[in-house]
Amino acid sequence: MMPPSSPQVQNQSIVRFQNGSVSSFTYSNTVNTPVLDPQLTAVKTSLTPEALLGQPIVYVVTVTNNGNVAAAVTVIDPLPAGTAFVPNSALLAGVPLAGADPASGLPLGVLPAGASVAVSFQVLLQSAPGALQLANQATAQFAFRTPDGRTVNGALLSNTLVLPVRQLSVQVAKSLDRAYTFVGDTITYSVTIGNESALPLDDVVLTDTLPAEMAFVTGSVTVDRVHWPADASDNGIALGTLAPGAARVVSFQARVTAFPPDGQVMNRALVTFRVGAGQQSALSNPAVATVIDPMLRLVKSADLSAITTDEAVRYTITAYNDGEIATAVVLTDAIPEGSLFVAGSLSVNGTSMPEARPEQGVTIGTLEPGGSAMLAFSVAVPEQAGRKPPFVLANQAQARYSFALPDGRRIADSALSNTVQIELRLPVMSAHTDAGPPVVEPGSIASIGITVRNSGNQAVEALLFDWLPQGTRLMPGTLYVNGVQIANIDPAMATGLPIGLLAADGSILISFEAEVLHHTFLTAIQGRPRVVSRFTLNGKLHERTTFSNAYRLILEHGDE
């Protein structure tokens, strides 16, 4: 191509003058100044008609010098977002530009007037832009020298090149074997991965993160109906390469372990794969199952927090249906160990059921959503010798219930109430008497010690009766209760000898001396003291009588 003729700027001066009445003018010589201009153009094209993830794009920038002076040219091309330059791919007129980078500048050298040169380079599409278009524009920076030695710099833009981005067509469809489920049920999920593209998908991995209310069933994975026991849903299932037009079906099972807050378990499968050097992913549709649960709730209570023997406590069990489906309920309550059911005391919603017993199960009917039913009964604590700690009545109620899913399945389950503990307040009393010597005679002294023990958990006020044996009299100043002398006491008083507060797991020792009196027909000094203990519980006074062991001292009469 021949350069255009050099343009010139012509300039000539004119001089006007006047002499008297005569006016005239004259011209100077003409000066021609040549104009120097590279007149560069930059055209950007692509050898790739559309961009594809993971595939290279070949850009070409052609620079033409339509001017009349040579210019040194450098092409700078900032890459579009989501692309990366392929190192050492830049070519200038087919010759590699080692180490050159379009973002830093591709040197084209000196471009003579009338000449053109093309530089090409490759980029890799790593991620697709939201608009599915790659827009890019190059800049050509140039410099030339004038005949007088000056350097002139300039720059120009190429056209903006827009390439469409073609997405891969990868279909991920997720399904499940049931739309309705319940806590404890197992759901089978199936994920179909289809490659509808013309390129193979490499390193395909399926990941399916389950909701918190579900647990993966180990060993349940199948791929195209082939068992894959080593793979777990949460860790991803490696499927290798998926050829164009091919599809794979992955199935696995998960168990519903808890009721979700919104009543549904929903999740999506994620498929990651590689096309060329680009990593990509695709999401499935959401798979949703509705969890049906009557949310049966049992609340158990008692009208007393502590009882003693020969008292009754009334239990109340309320069943609530906090769910959204009707359920049939049978309540069962085992009688606490150490207590007896009070016959005829059971009622349901206030209606007496005299023949029913809680340990045998009581049908309370169908509870509608938001409904409730109440079962009440009483138990009593009988007197029981040798009762030992712990002194507590503890038990909880159980409900067996069933409900129907919308798909026709009928589900049976059970629920437990809270545990109700009632303290059993018992003064476990015992008394033991030691007396001596074994043989006495009138006028001699007998020593008697009575130990009263409370091995229970209820403190009592204790009174001692029949403590001074017949045929004797109390020796003054010898009566002691736990080492404290008791004076001015009448052994014959009907109210008994007050021995004070006997604490739980405590004991009291009563000791005294008695003089043996003369009695013609009396052959032995014998006795069996008794202890009367009293305490107040639930506003009621309770009284217990405890007998000591019997003792006998032989009475010998001297010769008269």
List, for residues 200-220, the tens digit of each pLDDT value: 899 999 999 999 999 999 889
Domains 40-166 and 296-424 share a fold: yes
Tell the residue number behind the tokens 């219930």, with chain if given: 401
Predicted pLDDT at 429: 93
> Of 58, 210, 81, 96, whose CA–CA distance to 135 is shortest?
81
Average pLDDT over residues 72-96: 92
Q: Is the pLDDT of residue 353 over 80?
A: yes
Phi, psi of 479 (to 5 degrees): -85, 120
pLDDT for 12: 64
Given pLDDT bands bounded at 50, 70 and 90, which one contains residue 274?
Answer: confident
Tell me how far apart the alpha carbons of residues 232 and 222 are, in angstroms, rounded to a whole number: 11
**Selection from 87, 81, 124 nearest residue 104 by Cα:** 87
Find the angle CA(172)-CA(174)-CA(176) to the nearest 5 degrees. 170
Q: Confidence class of residue 560 from pLDDT cuts 50, 70 and 90?
A: very low
Structure tokens at 131: 């608009």
The CATH code of the domain at 40-166 is 2.60.40.740
pLDDT greater than 50 at residue 477: yes
> Helix (H, G, I), strand (E, B), or coil: what is residue 39?
coil
Asked if pLDDT for residue 39 goes beyond 70, the answer is yes
Q: Is the pLDDT of residue 234 over 60?
A: no
> Is-contact 38 113, C-beta < 8 A?
yes
Band of residue 233 on the pLDDT scale cut at 50, 70, 90:
low
Does 1 have pLDDT greater than 50?
A: no
Q: Is residue 199 predicted with pLDDT exceeding 50?
A: yes
The pLDDT tens digits for 107-155 are 999 999 999 999 999 998 887 787 889 999 999 999 999 888 889 999 9
Mean pLDDT value of segment 36-64: 89
Q: Is the pLDDT of residue 291 over 90?
A: yes
Which of 306-310, 438-442, 479-483, 497-501 comes out lowest in average pLDDT? Answer: 306-310
Distance CA 490, CA 467 (A): 11
Classify 360 as helix, strand or coil: helix
Mean per-residue pLDDT for 249-274?
94
- pLDDT for the residue 3: 45
35 pLDDT tier (thresholds 50, 70, 90): low
What is the value of pTM for the model shown?
A: 0.63
Q: Which of 45-59, 322-336, 498-512 has the lowest mean pLDDT?
A: 45-59
> Which range has the worst mean pLDDT, 139-153, 282-296, 356-370?
139-153
> What is the CATH code of the structural domain delimited by 429-555?
2.60.40.740
Region 170-291: CATH code: 2.60.40.740
pLDDT value for 246: 95
- pLDDT of the residue at 230: 66
Q: What's the pLDDT score for residue 268?
A: 96
Q: Is the pLDDT of residue 300 over 60?
A: yes
- Quickly tell me which residue has 């003018």 as its tokens: 25
Looking at residue 10, what is its pLDDT? 63
Q: What percent of the chain has pLDDT over 90?
A: 74
Q: What is the dihedral of CA 143, 146, 148, 152, to 10 degrees?
A: -40
Q: Is CATH 2.60.40.740 the classification given to domain 296-424?
A: yes
pLDDT at 2: 41
- The domain spans of the chain are 40-166, 170-291, 296-424, 429-555
The pLDDT mean for the chain works out to 90
Q: What are phi and psi of 302, to 5 degrees?
A: -140, 155
Across the range 537-548, mean pLDDT stands at 95
Q: How far apart are the first and last CA of the chain?
A: 172
Q: How many CB atoms lie within 10 A of CB 448?
A: 24
Query: Residue 300's closest CA among 314, 318, 312?
Result: 318
Per-residue pLDDT, 146: 86
